[in-house]
Each structure stands twice: as structure tokens, then as C-alpha cells.
């Protein structure tokens, strides 16, 4: 950024009127208004250490000469559940009717076209769109491991490293949730479209996971988590082996009760709901995040809440696929944490996920104000970070300096009090994004000048949707 004689200040609007900045860690940010735990604090200065973490928080102070000055700032958003390659279907399937299962067949056809080069290009574009929309972290639920035939690539971990390279290129934090996917349904072999997902068994997956973890060790932006695709795709013995083979600090995610058929199949095969099956395996622990839980029973909700698991809701996807309205408030009341994800990336907008969570509850209950705005912000930020094993994200000393500046003078936000921006803003109101103390995006483009629309156009041109 250009040196100035006083504090650096850019216009608090959604129109970019200044040159792109560099990506070195800034020593300090001064925020005109900073939302901490959902409450607006005026004149907050954040000192940042060399590792990109907050070293000191000062409230009610003036900016110092070298500070970068921001307007209204929120904690960076954590996207706790993403399938980057599903973005290729945006605008391709919405008019087809049908249900989740019909959509899945189209998704498999995209998966079979992916190779490391195409996947990196697509993921770079999707991660770029996430970043300029306010997501500072993404949990990528990744299961396209091998060639469509099931044969491994010549370069070990080629697909996983492609995702890591995409995250580094745009500057977003990535938690790679490397996923176990061993069968095509309960008691069924992988279909031809699914062969690239499998590792032969739990032992094969664990060996690959451990090798990948060593390969990614020490990466500044990319960390490795784990996922069990679902009770449909991983048999109980394999789930048990994987859970026992993973270090206890590693976050584990799983799709859970997204569709009634999943519940019915699990009951028929094991005499238990998917949640009950996980409970029987000792999997219900605070490190576990279950995705969707749309059709969780009352008993399931109590089990999940008592165990202190996180439930990752994906409102725009659950609506788009006709899955149903998940019992988010009931799960939260039972003791579960609620986080949010963009899932199929038909929509990439953390504000729309927050509103979708709240509006689903309002429609189900026919009452307003089900989740307070502060609770929505926590679901979109700190709960997502915790679910991805990244620790605390409340803009306190020791937390990552991951920030999102929001315009408060757009036609959507003007007149809003800061604490209610979760219910009025959209991704279009994101002005600047900071990850690890570095300015990485501003006014809809990456700091280096790349525009997500150009990146996605180039990536889609390499696929047949």
C-alpha cells in the first residue's frame, strides 16, 4: 500500500476507489466500529503479531499513524461445509425439478470430469468468490481423491494438493476435510461414477490421510481434518477403525440425516437412526460436526445436544435441493452448537446463509426473532472456526486477525444498526477482507487484481456441464 503521512483511510463504500494493496501482515488495524460477540464497539484498535494473530485489543481509542483504518468490521466468516466442484452446477439444475437424488446424478457427471488441473482452476475460482464474499475460512468436504477409474494419480495426493494450492493462491484459510467414501449405499459397492472416491477400506484411507498430513505439515493456511461421508457410504466397522485411528484433536465431519431415505435405510440395516448408529460407535464427541441433521428425530437431537457436537446447517442448499427445514433452534436448545456452510455453492453469501437459518425457523414456527442477530453472527463465524478445529475466533488476543469490513451506506444497509447487519447486508456489501493480518480482497476482487467471475468463466470452459 502507498505510504501516507497520516493514518491510511479508504472510503467505507462498496465502490473500489483505491489501488490494490500488498499482502504483508499489517502491524495494526483501527476499526471505526467493530462487532465483538455481536456488540458494536467504537474506535477499536487491533495490534497484529508477525504470525497474523491479534496481540492486543484497545477499545475507545484513536488510530495511530501507521494503522490501516477500516469502517464497520465483523469477524471473518467460517464456511464450515463446502463442496467446491458442485459450483459447476449453479444455474444448470435449478429448473429441472426432481429431488436430491436426481440432482446427485448430475453432480457425479461433473466429478468424473475432474483432474488435478481442472480441479485447481475450479477451486481457485470458488475460493476467490468465497473470499470476496466475506468467508475467511472454508472447510472443504473433499472426496474426489483418484482418477474416475479409481486408480491413483501418478503424483501422490494430486487432487488434495490442487485444493491446497488453490487456497494459497487466493489467500483463504482451508481446512481440508479429507473424506472416507467406501460404498455406494448401505451394503452396495461403489457405482462406476463413485470409483474415484474410494480407498479400498479404512486402512487404505488412514494410510493416505497420514501421508497427506505429513505433506501439509507447517502450512500457514492449510490444515487437514477428516470426514466420514455418511452412514450410507461408510460401514460401521470402517467408521470405528477410522475414528480410533485419527488423533483426538482432529475435527471429524459427517453428513447426517439429510434425507428421510437415509434414516429409513439405516433403520432397516442396523435398527438405529444414523445418529443412534454414531452413538453406538462412540463417535458423538465435541470434535464431531454433523452436516444438515434435517430429519433428526427428537431422540437424535437430545443425543447430539448432550454430546456437545456441532451441527452445520446449509440453508441455501437445503432449500435448493428441497431437503426440508432443519430443526436448528431445537438442536441449539438441546445443547448443540450451530455453524453454517455453503455446501453445493449454488449460493456463496454468508449473509444469505444467516438469513436462511433465521427465516426457516420463522416459517416453521410462524414467529419472528428466533435467533438473535448475535447468535447468527456466531454461527457464521466463531462456531464455524471451532467446528473446523481452528480454535477461538472472537477477536480477542491470540485469535486470528480475520476481518470483514462491511459497507453501511449501500442501498441494502443504510439505516441499519451495526448489530443487525446480519439481517440486511449481502456479500455485495463486503468492502475489504483480512486473513491473518493481511489484506487479501477488496471491492469484489482479490488484492492482486483477479476477479472471481473471470476465474470461474475460465474454469467452467474446461468442463462440460
How many angstroms from the chain centroid is the CA of residue 191? 28
Q: Are 393 and 418 in contact (CB under 8 A)?
A: no
How far out from the chain centre does Cα 401 lie? 17
**Rounded to whole angstroms, how far apart are CA atoms 82 and 87?**
10
What are residue 434's DSSP bridge partners? 403, 439
Distances (CA, A) of 2 to 21, 63, 404, 405, 451: 8, 18, 21, 20, 22
Reported as type and span, the H/E element at residue 425 is: none
**Grid cell for residue 112:** 468424473
Element (H, E) at 329: helix 328-334
Catalytic site residue from 67, 343, 402, 429? 343
Beta carbons of 311 and 284 less than 8 angstroms apart: no
For residue 156 the three cell numbers come to: 501422490
Catalytically annotated residue among 229, 253, 292, 295: 292
Known catalytic residue at 393: no
Q: For the residues of 382-423, what is the DSSP string, one character each?
A: HHHHHHTT----SS-TTSB--EEEE-SSSTTTTT--GGGGGG
81 is catalytic: no
Q: Residue 409 contacts by C-beta under 8 Å, 6 or more apart in sequence?
A: 12, 13
CB atoms within 10 A of CB 81: 28
Q: Is the distance from CB of 73 to CB of 33 less than 8 angstroms?
A: yes
Contacts of 257 (CB under 8 A, 6+ apart): 263, 273, 274, 275, 290, 292, 293, 294, 295, 296, 300
Q: Give catalytic residue positions.
A: 292, 343
Amino acid at each position: 500500500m502507498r505510504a501516507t503521512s497520516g493514518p491510511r483511510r479508504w472510503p467505507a463504500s462498496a465502490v473500489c476507489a483505491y489501488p490494490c494493496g500488498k499482502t504483508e501482515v499489517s502491524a495494526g488495524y483501527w476499526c471505526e466500529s467493530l462487532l465483538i460477540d455481536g456488540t458494536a464497539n467504537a474506535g477499536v484498535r487491533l495490534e497484529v503479531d508477525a504470525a497474523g494473530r491479534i496481540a492486543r485489543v484497545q477499545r475507545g481509542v484513536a488510530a495511530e499513524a501507521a494503522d490501516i483504518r477500516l469502517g464497520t468490521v465483523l469477524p471473518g466468516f467460517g464456511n464450515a461445509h463446502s463442496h467446491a466442484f458442485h459450483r459447476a452446477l449453479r444455474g444448470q439444475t435449478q429448473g429441472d425439478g426432481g429431488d436430491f437424488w436426481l440432482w446427485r446424478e448430475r453432480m457425479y457427471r461433473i466429478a468424473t470430469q475432474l483432474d488435478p488441473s481442472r480441479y485447481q482452476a475450479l477451486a481457485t475460482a470458488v475460493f476467490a468468490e468465497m473470499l470476496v464474499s466475506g468467508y475467511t475460512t472454508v472447510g472443504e468436504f473433499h472426496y474426489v481423491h483418484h482418477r474416475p477409474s479409481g486408480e491413483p494419480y501418478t503424483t501422490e495426493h494430486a487432487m488434495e494438493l490442487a485444493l491446497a494450492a488453490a487456497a494459497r493462491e487466493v489467500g483463504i484459510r482451508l481446512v481440508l476435510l479429507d473424506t472416507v467414501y467406501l460404498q455406494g449405499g448401505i451394503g452396495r459397492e461403489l457405482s462406476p461414477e463413485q470409483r474415484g472416491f474410494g480407498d479400498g477400506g479404512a486402512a487404505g484411507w488412514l494410510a493416505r490421510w497420514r501421508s497427506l498430513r505429513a505433506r501439509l505439515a507447517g502450512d500457514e493456511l492449510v490444515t487437514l481434518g477428516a470426514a466420514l461421508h455418511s452412514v450410507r457410504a461408510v460401514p460401521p466397522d470402517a467408521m470405528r477403525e477410522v475414528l480410533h485411528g485419527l488423533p483426538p484433536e482432529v475435527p471429524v465431519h459427517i453428513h447426517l440425516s439429510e434425507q428421510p431415505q437415509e434414516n429409513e435405510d439405516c433403520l432397516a440395516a442396523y435398527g438405529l437412526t444414523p445418529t443412534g448408529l454414531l452413538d453406538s460407535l462412540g463417535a458423538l464427541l465435541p470434535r464431531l460436526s454433523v452436516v444438515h441433521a434435517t430429519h433428526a428425530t427428537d431422540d437424535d437431537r437430545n443425543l447430539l445436544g448432550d454430546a456437545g457436537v456441532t451441527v452445520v446447517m446449509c440453508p441455501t442448499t437445503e432449500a435448493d435441493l428441497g431437503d426440508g427445514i432443519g430443526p436448528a433452534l431445537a438442536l441449539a436448545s438441546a445443547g448443540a452448537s450451530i455453524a453454517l456452510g455453503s455446501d453445493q455453492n449454488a449460493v456463496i453469501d454468508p449473509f444469505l446463509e444467516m438469513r436462511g437459518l433465521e427465516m426457516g425457523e420463522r416459517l416453521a414456527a410462524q414467529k419472528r426473532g428466533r435467533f438473535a442477530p448475535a447468535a447468527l453472527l456466531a454461527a457464521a463465524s466463531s462456531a464455524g472456526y471451532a467446528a473446523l478445529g481452528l480454535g477461538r475466533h472472537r477477536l480477542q488476543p491470540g485469535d486470528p486477525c480475520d476481518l470483514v469490513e462491511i459497507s453501511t451506506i449501500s442501498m441494502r444497509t443504510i439505516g441499519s444498526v451495526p448489530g443487525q447487519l446480519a439481517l440486511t447486508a449481502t456479500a455485495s456489501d463486503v468492502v475489504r477482507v483480512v486473513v491473518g493480518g493481511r489484506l487479501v480482497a477488496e471491492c469484489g476482487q482479490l488484492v492482486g487484481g483477479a476477479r472471481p467471475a473471470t476465474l470461474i468463466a475460465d474454469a467452467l470452459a474446461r468442463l462440460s456441464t
